[in-house]
Structure 1
Amino acid sequence: MKYCYKEISSRSKYDKLQIKKCHLEMGHTGSCSEFPFLEHLSKNFKRISDKIKRDSTMTTGAAWKSEDAGPNRILRWVMLASDENLKKFGINMENLKDGVVAKLREKAADYDSCIQVAIKLTWLVYQMEGAPKCPDNIKEYLESHFGEMSNITTCAICLDKIGFDLFHTAQRGKANLETCHLNPRMHDPMNVGFGHRECNIAQGNKTLDEFYEWIAAILTRSKNT
């Protein structure tokens, strides 16, 4: 699909690093939209729509505020900027702990990849058990990117089916469904999916292949005890 790509005005101080663009098809009528594929979810399931936007475009960071903890969440493409450029935006990477810097840098991704991740996650949402019917125009948009919907979204880690209702349940304030990465150090549409919170925690910073190998080794040792 060829996008309209007209610039969308924003108040973000990071627009000098990356402008926001329209992702409707070229030649569309009506207003431009950065996330046209989220229109239905935004109106009916805003919390889910907000989660897709947040997880697609923002890093995760420290859960506390201090000079050496780093920003809690920041646009992923901002972390592609040099240390010198980041100082212009009040982010001094030299003041952060090495581990924090490494985490922020490995979560970085360009703007176009983040938008494609958002499209992929939306495509997966509508294929969950119990998900709302996807409007025809949005379904056509999503399928043009990632293929036919088959209503079989599974946890990217344990491969069990995922129900839409998991978005609405939480334990100790934590959602039971999280965005996960097959390789935690890559943020692109082929590397993301949804996973059970406990599965995502278990995988940790391992790639999915490393995690499976780790589990297999445990099972092998358990059979030999």
Structure 2
Amino acid sequence: MELCLKVIPNRSKYAQIKRCYCEKGHDGRCEEFPYLKHLAHHFKQVANKIKRDATKTTGAAWKSENAGPNRIDRWVMLLSDEELEQYGIKMMALKQTVVAKLREKAASYEDCMAVAAKLTWIVYQMLDAPEAPENIKKHLEACFGKFQAGATKCIVCKMPLSFRSFSQAKRGRAKIETAHMNPRIHNANNVGFAHRECNIAQGDKTLDEFYTWIAQILERVQSSTS
């Protein structure tokens, strides 16, 4: 699908161009997330999660200068330390572990937009998911392929995921989370959803590293009990 990609005015303090991701030649106004309109209207929590997870770094649980910026655009973290200081972000003043984490979450604007669309495509294929309007379905299928009802699985344990899990979050803890096959890469080919427990268990390992680690544990357990 050929996209519009016209520049959309935005109020961000960072010098970043935002673009329209409607189909080229579309009617009506330009929109950055046209495929989220249905979810935003009927399931706002889910739409907001997709936008946030696709475009923002993870948020600190506390507010302090040492914790670094809280939920900042991922593409901003591609700027140099000198450029960031112009926006009041003093990377040199942060702990190296914080800097490393922020830099690890960096991704281009284009990759973030692709992730948002991919996550939306995945959501509509969950068990119990709402039916996507035909225009949104057409848009997402043109980008990523045909929908398969109930096809979405946890990228870690491979068990099916239900759309209802989004509404079962308790005290800010989601039942399912956005996950990465390689935690250090944020693009459409590397993202999916996982049970919170599975995502925590994977940690900073790639999926291949995680499966190898688990296999080694099971092998040692079996050896010790035989």
Q: TM-score scaled by structure 1? A: 0.97
How far apart, in 2, do the equivalents of 1:41 and 1:170 lie? Answer: 17
Q: Given the alignment of the two structures, is residue 207 of structure 1 paired with residue 206 of structure 2, yes or no?
A: yes
1:31-110 map, 5 Å: 31-110=29-108
User: What secondary structure does 2:200 align onto?
Assistant: helix
| Equivalent residue number for residue 221 of structure 1 | 220
How far apart, in 1, do the equivalents of 2:206 and 2:131 lie? Answer: 33
Shift, 1:62, TM fit: 2.2
Structure 1, unpaired ranges of 5+: none
How far apart, in 2, do the equivalents of 1:86 and 1:115 lie? Answer: 22
| Equivalent residue number for residue 13 of structure 1 | 13
Q: 1:28 aligns with which of 26, 29, 36?
A: 26
Code of the aligned partner of 2:202 = Q
- The number of aligned residues is 223
Code of the aligned partner of 2:208 = D
Query: CA RMSD, aligned part only?
Result: 0.8
Maintained 8 Å contact 1:68/1:95: yes
Shift, 1:171, TM fit: 3.8
User: What secondary structure does 1:194 align onto?
Assistant: strand
Q: Deviations over 1:20-75 (max 9, x none)?
A: 10001111111100000001001000010000000000001421111111012100
Shift, 1:172, TM fit: 4.4
How far apart, in 1, do the equivalents of 2:183 and 2:169 lie? Answer: 23
How far apart, in 1, do the equivalents of 2:169 and 2:108 lie? Answer: 31
Shift, 1:130, TM fit: 0.3
Maintained 8 Å contact 1:182/1:191: yes
How far apart, in 2, do the equivalents of 1:180 and 1:40 lie? Answer: 23
Structure 2, unpaired ranges of 5+: none
How far apart, in 1, do the equivalents of 2:142 and 2:45 lie? Answer: 25
Q: TM-score scaled by structure 2? A: 0.97
Code of the aligned partner of 1:184 = P
User: What secondary structure does 2:179 align onto?
Assistant: strand
1:97-136 map, 5 Å: 97-136=95-134
Shift, 1:106, TM fit: 0.8
Maintained 8 Å contact 1:61/1:104: no
How far apart, in 2, do the equivalents of 1:172 and 1:210 lie? Answer: 31
Identity %: 60
How far apart, in 1, do the equivalents of 2:73 and 2:31 lie? Answer: 19
Shift, 1:8, TM fit: 1.0
Maintained 8 Å contact 1:61/1:70: no
